[in-house]
Structure 1
Amino acid sequence: MENIFFNNLGIIALESATELGKKINKVLYDWRDENFLIPCSCPRFSSGEAKGIVEASVRDKDIYILVDVCNNSLTYKMDGSLNRMSPDDHYQDLKRIIAACNGKAGRITVIMPFLYEGRQHRKTMRESLDCAMMLKELENMGVHSIVTFDAHDPRMQNVLPLNGLEIISPALQFTQALFAEYEDLKIDSEHLIFVAPDEGATERVIFLASLFGVNIGMFYKRRDYTKIVDGTNPIIAHEFCGGNIDGMDAIVVDDMIASGGSMIDVANQLKERGAKRVFLFSTFGLFTSGLEKFDKAYESGVFTRIFTTNLIHQKEELLEKEYYSTVNMGRYIAAIIDTLNKGDSMIEISKPASRIRKAVEDYKIYH
C-alpha cells in the first residue's frame, strides 16, 4: 500500500545547501517528473536579527529540509559590517524555517549531513551537551526524524528513542569512487589494509575491512590530559597498533578532516612503515587550517589521494587540487528521500553491505 505522503513531497533547501538541493531535486525530477523544491529565505534586519520565510504552501506535505551547518562561505550584514555565518547561525535559520511551516506540514524531516555540535557529544567535565540539546529541541518543534551522515558518535541516537535519527554511511560511495580512480588495486590481506586514525574510527574501518576481506590497523592518540587547547586535550603522539604493512596500500578512514594535522601525521607514519600508497577517506573535509600542509605532504609523497564528499560546502581551492576527488552524494540523498517518502525500509541504504561486497567482487573479476 502506498504511503499517504507519496507524491505529496516537498524539499526546502536553506541557502547553505542550495546547490545540493538542486542536485537532489534534479534526480527526483528524473524519477518522478515533478519539481519538489519549495523556495525559502531568511532575510536579516540591519541589527543582525532574522526571520524565516517559506514561499509556497507546505500544508499536509512530507517536507525535507536541507541544511549545511558547515558552510562558512555565506555572510550577512550587521551594523553595516559583514559577518561570516557560523554553525550557530545556520542552526537558528533551520529553526526559523521549521517555525515558518506553522505546524501545517504533514511531516518534517531534517537532513543535516554534518550533525550540528556532533563533536560535543559527551561530558568529561562540567560542560554543556550541545548536540543532545539540539536533538531534543528539534523533537519539541515537531520534527519527525533527522537524517545525518557518519555521526561523530552514533550513540547520539539514544537521545531520541521514539523519533528517528538515521545515521547513513557513505562507505558505498567511497568504494565506488576509489574503484573508478584506480584499476591496479590488489584486494587481499597481503596487499591492502584499512587503518583507523583513532579509536573512534574503528567501527567504520572494521565495517569496510570485513566487506573487502582484508585486515585492519589502528592508531590511538596519546594526549596531554593536563592541558586544554581549542576545547580539547592536545595530542602528544599517534601510536600504531597493527602488523607489518611494508609494500601494502593503506586506506585511512575517518569522519572528518578538521585542521588535518592528525591525518597527515598518520599518513606519514604509514609511509615510514613502508606503505606503498596511502589513500585518505573522510566524509567531511573541513580543512580549517587551509591546504598548504596538504600540498607539502602530497609533494613529499606522504599520501596519494584524498576523497571527501560534497555533503558540506567545498572550497574552490580544494576542488582544483590534483590530489583531491569529490564523492558525489546527491543521488544517494535523493534515494533516501524517495525511500522515506514511500515508507520503505532504510536498512539497505543506511549500511549497504551487500552492494559494497558486490562492488568488491566485480572489481576483482574485471581487474
Structure 2
Amino acid sequence: MDKMILLADRNSNAWDFSNKIQKYIEEKYKIKIPLMEVEISHFRNREIYMHIPMSIRKKEIYFIQDSTKDPQTWWVELLLLKDLLLGASAESVTLVLPDMYYSRQDRKDKPHVPISARALANSISSDLKKIITMDLHAAQLQGFYPQNIPVDNLYSFPEVVRHLREKHSGELEKMVVVSPDAGSAPRAKAFLKKLEKAQKEDNKKQEYSIALIDKTRSKQGEIQEMKLIGNVKNKNVFIPDDIIDSGNTLCGAAKLLKKKGAKKLFCYGTHGLFTEGPEKVCKYFDFVMTSNTHHQKFSGLEVIDMSPLFAEAIYRAQKGLSISELFE
C-alpha cells in the first residue's frame, strides 16, 4: 500500500468524494493513503491543460473522476490524464468512475449511429490496470473492455436497502417494487432479492411483490403510452433505476400508479442527473433517493453516500482481495 496514491481534481466535486474515501480507509484499516491533486486549467481557446506538481514515478495511481462534469470534458480529461500518468512513469493507473458516461448507447438501435460505449472503451482502456464504477446501465458493457483490463461494477442496492430499513422501515410492509420499464425488470428483481435477504437476516417478516410498467416511446425522450402489469392497490410502491435524467419516466409512472390505487410512492436512481431539476420529480413522490455519484444540493433529496463502498473496492483492489464478496 506504500506505493498507492489517490488522485483527484481539487476544484471539482470529486475532491470531497476522494477525501471521504481517504478518511474511510484510514479509520477502518489504519492506513494513510496520500491524496494528491491534479491541476486542471485551460488555454485561452479552452483546450485542457494538466499538471501534477509532485513525482508519481513507480506509484500506483487511483484517479477519481468527477461525474458531474460535462460528458465531453469528462472523456477528454481521462484521455489526457492517462497520457500524463503513463508518461510520468506511474507503475499502474486505475480509473475510478462513479458514473460511467456514454453507457446508454451500447448497441445500434438504428442505422448510421455510433456505439458510444464501445468508442469510450476503445479510447481509454489501453495500459490501464482496471476501472472501478457503479451500476452500469447495462452489465454487458464490461465486454467492450479487454480481458486484461477488468471493470469492477459496484452495486449500490445493498446500501439502498440498508438506508430504507433504517429510515423508512414502517413503509416497507407489503411494498411493491416496480420496474419503470421492461429493460429495468432485472434491476427490480435484483432489488427485491436484496430486500428479502435483508429481512431474513434480521428475522423481520415483511411481504414484498413486484410489478412492471410497459412503456412505448414516440421518439427519444418522449413517452407515448404506459401500462401497469401487476397490482399496486392500497400498497406502497418503490421504483429503483440506475439513472434519473429528465424524470419524465418517473413522473409518468407516478401518475399511472396513483390512478391504480398506490398509497405512498418512493423512487431511487443511482445516478441523479436531474437535467430538468429535482423539483420536477420530487413533487410526484413521497421521497426521492439518489446517491452521491453526482453531487446534489437540493434539500428535498435523500442522498446516500457511496464513498465507503468505493473505498472498500479500492482497498480490496490494491490488496488483491475479492470485491464481489462485498455483495454476497
TM-score greater than 0.5 by the shorter chain:
yes
Residue 237 of structure 1 aligns with an amino acid whose one-letter code is E
- What residue in structure 1 maps to residue 201 of structure 2? none
**Could you say which residue in structure 1 is the equivalent of 2:66?**
68
Cα distance, 1:293 vs structure 2: 2.4
Judge conservation of contact 2:17–2:307 (CA < 8 Å) in 1: yes
Partner residue, 1:343: 320
Match of 1:250 in 2: 237
Give the C-alpha shift of residue 262 in structure 1: 0.9
Deviations 1:177-213 (A, max 9, x none): 11221231344xxx11111101221111111212334
How far apart, in 2, do the equivalents of 1:46 and 1:215 lie? 57
**Structure 1 residue 50 and structure 2 residue 44: aligned?**
no
1:327 to 291, 304, 309: 304
Give the equivalent residue in structure 2 for 1:310: 292
TM-score w.r.t. length of structure 1:
0.80
Residue of 255, 261, 267 corresponding to 1:268: 255
Once the two structures are superposed, what CA deviation does each residue of 1:43-85 show, in whole Å capped at 9, x if it has no partner?
Answer: 21112112221222222222111112333xxxxxxxxxxxxxx
- The amino acid of 1:195's aligned partner reads V
Taking the aligned partners of 1:175 and 1:131, their CA distance within structure 2 comes to: 29
Q: Distance in 2 between matches of 1:186 and 1:119?
A: 31
Q: By how many angstroms is 1:133 displaced?
A: 1.1
| Alpha-carbon distance, 1:309 to partner | 0.2
Partner of 1:98: 82
SS of the residue 2:191 aligns to: helix
Q: Which residue type is aligned with residue 309 of structure 2?
A: Y
User: Matched residues in 1 for 2:187 and 2:52: separation?
Assistant: 38
Compute the displacement of 1:215 (Å): 2.2
1:34, 1:210 → 2: CA distance?
36
Distance 1:64 1:209, change over 3 A: same
Kindly provide the CA deviation profile for residues 314-349 of structure 1, in whole angstroms up to 9, marking residues without a partner as x: 1x2x1x22xx21101111111111010100011123
Q: CA deviation at 1:240?
A: 1.3
* Cross-structure match for 1:241: 229
- Between the aligned partners of 1:28 and 1:292, the Cα distance in structure 2 is 35
Q: CA deviation at 1:233?
A: 6.2
Give yes or no for contact 1:194–1:252 (8 Å, CA) kept in 2: yes
> Which protein has greater RCO, CA pairs closer than 8 Å, 6+ apart?
1
What is the rounded CA distance, in whole Å, between the counterparts of 1:331 and 1:32 in structure 2? 15
For 1:270 and 1:143, the matched residues in 2 are separated by 45
Q: Matched residue of 1:91: which SS?
A: helix
Counterpart among 114, 123, 128 of residue 114 in structure 2: 128
Query: CA distance change for structure 1 residues 223 and 92 in 2, over 3 Å: closer, same or farther?
Result: same
Partners of 2:252 and 2:321 in 1: CA distance: 43
CA distance in 2, matches of 1:259, 1:234: 10
Structure 1 residue 23 and structure 2 residue 20: aligned? Answer: yes
Deviations 1:142-191 (A, max 9, x none): 1121111111111111112412111111001111111221231344xxx1
1:1-367 aligned within 5 A: 6-14=1-9, 15-16=11-12, 17-30=14-27, 31-71=29-69, 86-103=70-87, 104-124=89-109, 125-140=111-126, 142-162=127-147, 163-187=149-173, 191-213=174-196, 214-224=208-218, 228=219, 232=220, 234-242=222-230, 244-295=231-282, 297=283, 302-314=284-296, 316=297, 318=298, 320-321=299-300, 324-349=301-326, 352-353=327-328
- With over 3 angstroms needed to count, the CA separation of the structure-2 counterparts of 1:312 and 1:266, relative to structure 1, is same
Unmatched runs of 5 consecutive residues or more in structure 2:
197-207
Say which SS state the counterpart of residue 49 (structure 2) adopts: coil
Amino acid at match of 1:328: D
Aligned residue pairs total: 311
Please state how far the C-alpha of 1:32 moved relative to its aligned partner: 2.9
**1:56 partner amino acid:** M
RMSD across aligned C-alpha pairs, in angstroms?
1.7
- Name the CA distance, whole Å, in 1 between partners of 2:172 and 2:105: 39
| TM-score, length-scaled by structure 2 | 0.89
Q: Which amino acid aligns with 1:240?
A: L
Cα distance in 2 for residues equivalent to 1:153 and 1:46: 38
